[in-house]
Amino acid sequence: MKKNLCIMLASLSLLSCAPGAEKEATAEFDYTVERFADLEVLRYQVTDFDELTLDQKKLVYYLQEAALYGRDILFDQNGKWNLALRQTLETIYTGYQGDRNTADWAAFETYIKQIWFANGMHHHYSSDKIMPAFSQEFFAEALKAADATKLPLREGETVEQFLSFITPIMFDPTVMPKRTNQADGEDVVKTSAGNYYDGVTQAEAEAFYAQMKAADPNKETPISYGLNSRLVKRDGKIYEEVYKQGGRYGQAIEKIVYWLEKAASVAENDQQRAVIEKLIEYYKSGDLKQFDEYAILWVNDLDSRVDFVNGFTESYGDPLGMKASWEAVVNFKNLKASHRTELISQNAQWFEQNSPTDARFKKENVTGVTAKVITAAILAGDCYPSTAIGINLPNSNWIRAAHGSKSVTIDNITDAYNQAAKGNGFNEEFVYSDVERKLLEEYGAITGGLHTDLHECLGHGSGKLLPGVDPDALKAHGSTLEEARADLFALYYIADAKLVELGIIPNAEAYKACYYQQMMNGLMTQLHRIEPGKDIEESHMRDRQLIAAWAYDLGKADNVIELAVRDGKRYVKINDYDKLRTIFGQQLAEIQRIKSEGDYEAGRQLVEKYAVKVDPELHKEVLERYEALNLAPYKGFVNPVYNAETDAEGNITAVTLDYTEGYAEQMLRYSEQYRTLPAYND
């Protein structure tokens, strides 16, 4: 769906091909927090917070409060018993008097950490129910021994009764097995445990919204139907419970509005103030027309340093793809990294002119896209603890077409992934020798970020079709070839003296890190994400293998790249980086020709020969070696703590950051400090 696919997918391959960016690595900063189940919790650094003015710091402070106050909303959206479950587990976790050294206790601790991470009882990524590994007997005893006044007991309910209510919710795999069910042929509304519908069938929900759309006179500028509500059926009547102040989740929204009002009082400029005020208006009315007005104001706010997302935004959690989960991110522009993308864009015409493609395929007037690079200051709702490394909003198609979108990459999060991955054994296992490891260590992050910038800001926008060529001529192979074209543009130019001249790459050697990463990933390591026996499907993965395997073939006669064998293991070894650049240039020229001429047959042959099939022996080897590293497949973050210092009159005089809070500590504090909703919301 909506979020910038290129960037989003990059986030899936962080370990092996991480876009990063310039930064001063702070050796003392501890990026790792803890590891449990299939998860790893990291910590990110809010780089350059000190650069902000006091008013900007206040703005960040107020906005992060507005962000954290929405937490309970997401728990309830993810499932109607999640808040009660969280309260139950936290009561046991904090008050347990029994032996904390048993296997049952360890399993309980893992379980509560998983529930926190998922913002509910279903896995954040797979949406499958998380099953406890402790016994029901252990749980029953722990519950009965807990402080009953802190349990979410309903009017007149005994602990025994509550136990029989909560036990199947936790332990029975057939009760609410999936948060978002998208299986064909099933009633996906009835069979999804997410709390976006209550008492309605899929057919009823679809009919409800079809009728609403048909009745809307604004066909050109449609609202995002159903975005901010739960659809319920009561006494035979179907209606929306709208998320707004005074409506569903009103208690949480009231708090959010309170802090947004404070934020508006220190807005950087009138445009930003208008954005915040419109959002408040919308939170009060629940009117989706106002939400669109807000989105348009937001997309046009390009001058403010501080920016934010706060609201019902992405609809991945709704099986019908209409209703949005609540999320928030507060961020500010990374001036140094944004300067880099501006420089690249300003020189777009030079890059176009000097590329190795045929003159007939070059654009006369090319304008680079400036991607904003941001520093995340807080992650919340559906962006916490697990988050994307890029944001591309708004989602409304007509607003994107008429007003554009904001596309940003979150630099300090990428950086935290990179830093945390150091020493995880991956490079030791897969990189050929210390020479390449040193290159990656020194330049991997810089060139990774630069590769992404060149790909996004220049690659996709370069070149032109010959007159009369159908833009869809490459059909099913179009997106693989398009990604390959953008990647090759980046690979060709990352080795260009122009980048050293512009001062955005430190020297003429640094590009080698990117080349090594590209070849290792494309020929070998990305295979760890493919199940045994499967082909490569995803277009970015196809693109990477296409480039690598084809380059390998083109350089064979000169032994440019080899798969060296040592102790029975294979390693990528690049013998001639200069020649490899020439090969990338050749490939770029050919892919551009295929695109410009719409040569479907040539494109199909390349994709089928190089991009799809996997060498089963090599695949098996990569999977085994990767498995042995025991890396966590999913990662998330704890937030820093923002402290506001005030004078005698209560005016904020300074905002400081504290990074010492642990994972459980933070979750428990959030549950206490930012609790806004009752355990049951029906």
CB of 582 to Zn ion, least distance (A): 23
| Cβ proximity to Zn ion, 327 vs 483, nearer residue | 483
The nearest distance, CB 341 to Zn ion, in angstroms, is 15
Residue 390 C-beta: closest distance to Zn ion, Å: 11
Q: CB 486 → Zn ion: shortest distance, Å?
A: 5
Residue 248 DSSP class: B
Q: 2 or 35: whose CB is closer to Zn ion?
A: 2
Half-sphere exposure of 617 (CA within 13 A, CB side): 3
Compare residues 536 and 622 and give the one whose CB is closer to Zn ion.
536
Q: Is 658 exposed, middle or buried (0-12, 13-18, 19+ CB in 10 A)?
A: exposed
Nearer to Zn ion, 43 or 529 (CB): 529
User: Closest CB to Zn ion among 6 and 46?
Assistant: 6
Question: Taking a C-beta distance cutoff of 8 angstroms, is the pair 333, 373 a contact?
Answer: yes
Q: What is the DSSP letter of 460?
A: G
Nearest alpha-carbon partner for 57 in 275, 265, 266, 260: 266
For the bound state, the minimum distance from the C-beta of residue 276 to Zn ion, rounded and expressed in Å, comes to: 33
How far apart (Å, rounded) are the C-alpha atoms in residues 307 and 377? 10
- Please give the helix or strand (H or E) that residue 581 lies within, else none: helix 577-597
Helix (H, G, I), strand (E, B) or coil at 252: helix
CB within 8 A of 466, min separation 6: which ones?
360, 361, 596, 597, 598
Kindly state the smallest distance separating residue 452's Cβ from Zn ion, in Å. Answer: 9
Q: Shortest approach of Zn ion to residue 672 CB, angstroms?
A: 43
Quote the DSSP letter at residue 640. Answer: P
Q: Which is nearer to Zn ion, 44 or 492 (CB)?
A: 492
What type of residue sits at position 337? A
| Burial of 433 (C-beta count, 10 Å sphere; 0-12/13-18/19+) | exposed
Amino acid identity, position 32: T
Q: Which residue has the tokens 């390009």?
A: 302
State the Cα–Cα distance between residues 33 and 662, nearest whole angstrom: 7
DSSP state of 318: S
Distance separating alpha carbons of residues 562 and 573, to the nearest angstrom: 5
> What SS3 state is found at 111?
helix
* Least distance CB 632 / Zn ion (angstroms): 27
Tokens 């090319």 — which residue? Answer: 366
- Using the minimum distance from each CB to Zn ion, give the nearer residue, 19 or 381: 19
Cβ atoms 597, 469 nearer than 8 A: yes
Please confirm whether the linkage preceding 385 is cis (ω < 30° from 0).
yes
Minimum CB separation of residue 482 from Zn ion in Å reads 7
Nearer to Zn ion, 122 or 544 (CB): 544
Closer to Zn ion by CB, 314 or 543: give it. 543
Helix (H, G, I), strand (E, B) or coil at 196: coil
Q: Specify the residue, 199 or 461, whose C-beta has the smaller distance to Zn ion.
A: 461
No. of H helices and E strands in the chain?
25, 15
Least distance (Å) between residue 644 CB and Zn ion: 41
* Residue 521 to residue 391: CA distance in whole angstroms: 25
DSSP state of 542: H
Per-position b or e across 128-147, b if 16+ CB within 10 A of its CB: ebbebebeeebbeebbeebe
Give the nearer residue to Zn ion in terms of CB position, either 377 or 488.
488
Instruction: Report the nearest approach of Zn ion to the CB of residue 485 (Å).
Output: 9
Helices (H), 119-157: 136-145
For residue 431, the number of C-alpha atoms closer than 13 Å in the C-beta half-sphere is 25
CA torsion sign, 367 to 373 to 379 to 385?
positive
User: Of 352 and 453, which CB lies nearer to Zn ion in the complex structure?
Assistant: 453
SS3 195: coil
CB nearer to Zn ion: give 72 or 483.
483
| Residue 419 or 592 with smaller CB distance to Zn ion | 592
Nearest residue to Zn ion, using CB? 6
Q: Supply the minimum distance, in Å, between the C-beta of residue 483 and Zn ion.
A: 5
Minimum CB separation of residue 459 from Zn ion in Å reads 7
**SS3 (DSSP) at 55:** helix
Residues that bind Zn ion (CB under 5 A): 6, 483, 486
* DSSP notation for 202-220: HHHHHHHHHHHHHH-S-SS
CB of 235 to Zn ion, least distance (A): 51
| Residue 444 near residue 585 (C-beta atoms within 8 A) | no
Q: How far apart are CA 6 and CA 480, in angstroms?
A: 12
* Residue 418 and residue 445 in contact, taking contact as beta carbons nearer than 8 Å: yes
Shortest distance, position 395 Cβ to Zn ion, whole Å: 19
For residues 129 and 451, which CB has a smaller minimum distance to Zn ion in the complex? 451
